[in-house]
Chains A and B, each alone.
Chain A
Amino acid sequence: MKYLEPDASRPTWIGLANGPAVRGFHQRHPELVDYVEIPFEQIRHDAGAGAVQETLPAILHCASMSVAGFVAPTETTLAAIGREVERMRTPWIGEHLAFISADPLGSSEEAAGPTALTYTVCPQLSEDTAQRVAENLAALQARFPVPIILENSPQYFEVPGSTMPMVEFIGEVFSRCSAGLLLDLTHFQISAINMGFDAAEAVVRLPLDRVVEIHVSGLTVQSGVAWDDHASAAPDEVLALLGRVLERARPRAITFEYNWSTSVPDAVVVRQITRVRELLAS
């Protein structure tokens, strides 16, 4: 098994989200990739998904703690996450600033238990939610020996009852906790497109001093909405946002999330990673 070790000559690691293309890419370009980011849910579904750590160090990503939700994750789930934290020796856990479960709607549904989803959902952007995040995080962090860092959600629509835009919400959350930020620049760009704000202007108002990790991936505009797309390469505007952030902050890791298929050509990934390394070196 490989583990991440601090390296003074490479203060920012660059990695790939675990998917069908990772092994082959790493074999062809071993010098370009420092780690693989493995979703906890992938390993939960298929223990073999963690085997890639025999060749590459790993960081644990998670979408199961429902940090911005009102229904706590089960003890079984938290224990399983804890086992992976130990096994991987991950430096942190990247978790979504979102919810993945919620109360049942009515009394007839109550017997069936909470509503569990398979994809994280942007929460209501309000002080109530920010306070809930802080409380949830305090309880969850106590369980793990490594920090939980929070990833901004893509916003696809106005969530009813929201009282503030995304940038202010992130600021509100981070004013109530000491967590690090997993800044997903594609999610931020998607939120900007869908909610009508200028991503380049707004990104510098985020708590960039708290950035630990950055995600980049593709996006697609379909049916009038911008959507997350890990089957396509990060567009120029997302890489431009990255450049803007790197002028002001140095994350410990940058992850390219091209893990839904093998459709992003090697040459594109090589070019993007090389460009990012040049930015980091400048």
Chain B
Amino acid sequence: MSRHVDARRVHALMAAGLANPELLARWRREPALLSALGLSPGAMDLDRLWKFAGLSEKIRYNPCRNDLPLTFRLLSKLGLEIEVFASYAPRAAELRKAGKNSVEDKIQGLFEFLAGWAERDRPAHVMLCDMIRHETTVAAMRARAAGGDLGLPGRAPGEPAGKAAPGAVPVIAGALTLQRMAFDPRVLAERLRQQAPRLDDLEPGELRLGYWWNGDAPALHILELDELGFCLLSAVDGASSVAELAAPLARAGTALPLAPLLGAFADLAELGLIVLQPGSRVSA
């Protein structure tokens, strides 16, 4: 047991550290600061107080579980909840101070924090970032659908895909968000739905996903794309013709002669992902 220290003072110190993550961080860097506050440096386990602050922060984010159920489950199964939220607490406090307290603000804050916090050579961190990107993308697409913001409708059944000509302008049919992932979120989701999910056998790879709502179908499609398809869809801006896209594609590392480029865009149009609109200008 510790030597006597006034309970009122101890509570004040603990509360101050828990309420102010920057102050707690300062104490952890310089425990001797506690002496001036009436507590010998070794008397308080600052590391555990920091972790407890993480628990408190995590509970503040319970309203986000509805939109991020798999992210929270993954955090728990990876044993990263406390570490993540303790590390995030200073940024979370800044957001609160700035009045950013909605569920959307919290999700965005957590998303941005994880992107900067994650270590790219740690598969668990990469898995976590992939999962929150997956869930926030799905949520954003659903919000767009609910708001009727689904862009150009896809072509009707039987309608021709559009002529793949150099002057044709590819336009995304519906709404599409592209994501590169190291872990397949669909596989992760399936594993996480199990009572005792196994994750340690999953290896990082290279996955290119298109989250696509074509406006007519009732559900979001998650498509696995090859590198060419991913790059072409990334380049589509709804205004540039196929010929005009060749140069930026080449700069981005996807250099193709015109004929195969036309063929690739024609394939995407056949799949319904794009509509090839006749161009108004004749391109070189």
Point out residues on A near B: beta carbons under 8 Å: 20, 69-70, 99, 101-106, 109, 115-119, 121, 123-124, 126, 128-129, 132, 156-164, 220-223, 225, 227-229, 231-232, 260-263, 265
- Tell me which of B56-64, B134-142, B180-188, B209-217 binds A: B56-64
Q: Is B51 an interface residue (CB 8 A)?
A: yes
Beta-carbon contact of A222 and B81 below 8 Å: yes
> Is B72 touching A102 in the complex (CB atoms < 8 A)?
no
A-B contact pairs, 22 of them (CB 8 A): A99-B15, A101-B15, A106-B37, A109-B16, A115-B15, A117-B15, A117-B18, A124-B5, A124-B10, A128-B7, A132-B7, A159-B10, A160-B2, A160-B10, A160-B13, A161-B3, A221-B79, A223-B79, A260-B59, A260-B65, A263-B72, A263-B73
Docked-complex contact B10 and A222, CB < 8 angstroms: no
Contact B11 A69 (CB under 8 A): yes
Partner of A161, one of B2, B76, B80: B2
Interface 1/0s, chain B 18-30, versus A by CB < 8 A? Answer: 1100000000000
How far is B11's CA from A225's CA once the two chains are assembled, in angstroms? Answer: 21
Chain B 185-198 near chain A by CB (<8 Å), digits 1 or 0: 00000000001000
Complex: chain A residue closest to B6, CB-CB:
A161
Instruction: Report which of A20, A106, A121 forms a contact with B18, defined as CB distance below 8 A.
Output: A121
Q: Which residues of B contact A (CB under 8 A)?
A: 1-16, 18-19, 37, 39, 43-45, 48-49, 51-52, 54-56, 59-60, 62, 65-66, 69, 72-73, 76, 79-83, 86, 195
* Residues of chain A within 8 A of B14, CB atoms compared: 102, 121, 159
- Which one of A101, A126, A159, A261 lies within 8 Å of B72 (CB-CB)? A261
CA distance A102 to B20 in the complex (A): 13
Could you tell me the distance between the alpha carbons of A53 and B13 in the complex, rounded to whole angstroms? 39
For the complex with contacts A123-B7, A161-B5, 11 further pairs of A-B residues with Cβ separation under 8 Å are: A20-B65, A70-B7, A115-B12, A117-B56, A124-B5, A128-B7, A222-B83, A223-B51, A231-B72, A262-B69, A263-B72
B interface: dominant SS: helix
**Which residue on B lies nearest to A125, using beta carbons?**
B1
Q: For B60, list chain A residues within 8 Å (CB).
A: 118
Q: Are B76 and A99 in contact (CB under 8 A)?
A: no
Chain B residues with Cβ below 8 Å from A222 are 79-83
Residues of A within 8 A of B65 (CB): 20, 231, 260-261
In the bound complex, how far is the Cα of B55 from the Cα of A118, in angstroms?
A: 11
Residue of A nearest to B79 (CB): A222
Residues of B within 8 A of A159 (CB): 10, 14
Interface of A is mostly: loop
B162 to chain A, nearest CB (A): 45
Q: A118–B56 contact, CB under 8 A?
A: yes
Q: A103–B8 contact, CB under 8 A?
A: yes
A115 and B19 within 8 A (CB): yes
CA distance A157 to B80 in the complex (A): 19
Residues on B with C-beta less than 8 A from A262 are 69
Are A70 and B48 within 8 A (Cβ)?
A: no
Residues of A within 8 A of B15 (CB): 99, 101-102, 115, 117, 121
Asked if B76 and A232 make an inter-chain contact with CB atoms under 8 angstroms apart, the answer reads yes
A70 contacts which chain B residues (CB < 8 A)? 7-8, 11
- Chain B residues near A101: list those with CB within 8 A: 15
**Do residues A124 and B76 form an inter-chain contact, with CB atoms below 8 A?**
no
- Complex CA gap A115/B55 in Å reads 18
**Given A116-B19, A261-B69, A263-B73, are A227 and B10 neighbors across the interface (CB < 8 Å)?**
no
Bound state CA distance, A222 and B83, in angstroms?
8
Are A265 and B5 in contact, with the CB atoms below 8 A? no
* Neighbouring A residues of B10 by C-beta, 8 Å: 124, 159-161
B-side contacts of A158, CB under 8 Å: 2, 45
CB neighbours (8 Å) of A105 from chain B are: 12-13, 16, 37
Q: A221 to B3, alpha carbons, bound, how many Å?
A: 29
- Docked-complex contact A260 and B62, CB < 8 angstroms: yes
